[in-house]
Amino acid sequence: MDEGRAAASLRTFLRHETVVSHGKLDFALASLRLEERRDYARFLQVQLSARAPIERWAALHCPPDLRPPAAVPLLRADLAALGASADVAESRFDPPPGAHPLGLAWALAGSHLGNRALLARLTRSGARLPTAFLADPHMPAFWKALRPLLESPAAAAPAAAALAAAEAVFACFAHTIGAKEGKLAA
């Protein structure tokens, strides 16, 4: 992080530094037609595969105020309601030593903003699909609680530590998508 950007908020810094990783994930999932049960089930399975190890790590390493609300039970419930398997191979989540949990919290809470957009899209389409995961009421409150921390100026060392955790989240999802790549395109 250079001195010229030191005054930027942590949120701005993280968003800027992860734009490529985030774009790759969005592109990889863009082929899914979420209004269709099969593709929606695949989307939920990708989420479950990545979020399960992330949530286990967060339970052990994140202070309570930075621990995202559990999504795994919601994902399992939605998959069960679809009649789809929740028996997925889990990705690995290995943030580097010194990674700050705020980066993990930012990545998962921020992804929920995208989930809200997906929920609106499904609602507009008239698709009758289970949406406990997408409609999770706990995530908006979690995001709201994080905002003051994220809007503070980004100091170099803490920002780099948060970025390391955020990039580990993106890498976990990328691994999941890579592992399922052939199935996602089918």
Q: Domain locations in the chain?
A: 3-185
- Residue 69: per-residue pLDDT: 97
Q: Which pTM does this prediction carry?
A: 0.89
The pLDDT, as a whole number, for residue 5 is: 46
DSSP code for 9: B
pLDDT digits (tens, 9 = 90+) for 94-117: 999 999 999 999 999 999 888 999
Q: Cα(80)–Cα(175) distance, rounded to whole angstroms?
A: 24
Please tell me the predicted confidence (pLDDT) of residue 185.
Answer: 38
Measured between alpha carbons, how far is 45 from 65 in angstroms, rounded to an integer? 27
Residue listed under structure tokens 């399922």? 180
Q: Which two tokens stand for residue 177?
A: 């998508």
Per-residue pLDDT, 180: 53
Mean pLDDT by 10 residues, the chain (186 residues): 62 95 89 94 97 96 96 98 95 94 95 91 94 95 94 88 97 86 43
* Crossing angle of the two packed helices 101-125 and 138-150, in degrees rounded to 10: 140
Residue 137 per-residue DSSP state: S
Is residue 51 within 8 A of residue 75, CB to CB? The reply is yes
Helix residue ranges, H only, the chain:
10-17, 19-29, 37-61, 72-82, 101-125, 138-150, 156-179, 181-185
The 3 state secondary structure assigned to 13-28 is HHHHHCHHHHHHHHHH
d(CA 121, CA 62): 32
The CATH number of 3-185, from 1.20.910.10, 3.40.50.720, 3.20.20.10, 3.40.50.1820, is: 1.20.910.10
